[in-house]
Amino acid sequence: MSDVKITVVAKLQPGPIFDELAAKNVNPVCDGVEMGKVFISKNLQMPEGFCAWAWADIQRDVAHLALGGDFRWINKPGSMVSSCTDGLRPVVFKLERIE
């Protein structure tokens, strides 16, 4: 089983829907992870300091890579782009299998 490198590559702002639905004390950009931050998943475990909500969303892609799988629509074997499903403040992660 391989380790998987998880890199924070984008923190998106959805615009008007945030203004309509977000509570007043919510930051418009996710403050749970830093841009460019790198995490390593070992033995299919959530990395220390990683957001549990984001982990719930990306763990199946991490598992697929860790177990040797590839995604046919991604042109670089051992890689994937995955994101958390926070519709107000989504974060995009680049996943890379460590050989």
Q: What pLDDT digit, counting tens, does each position of 23-47 carry?
A: 888 888 888 889 999 999 999 999 9
Domain holding 10, by residue range, is: 3-98
User: Could you read off the pLDDT of 5-15 as tens digits, one per residue?
Assistant: 999 999 988 78
User: pLDDT tens-digit profile of 43-78?
Assistant: 999 999 999 999 999 999 999 999 999 999 999 999
DSSP codes joined into one string, the chain: --EEEEEEEEE---THHHHHHS-TT--SS--SS-TT-EEEE-TTPPPTT--HHHHHHHHHHHHHHHTT---TTSSSTTEEEEE---SSS-EEEEEEEE-
- Residue 11 is predicted with a pLDDT of 92
Domain count for the chain, please give it. 1
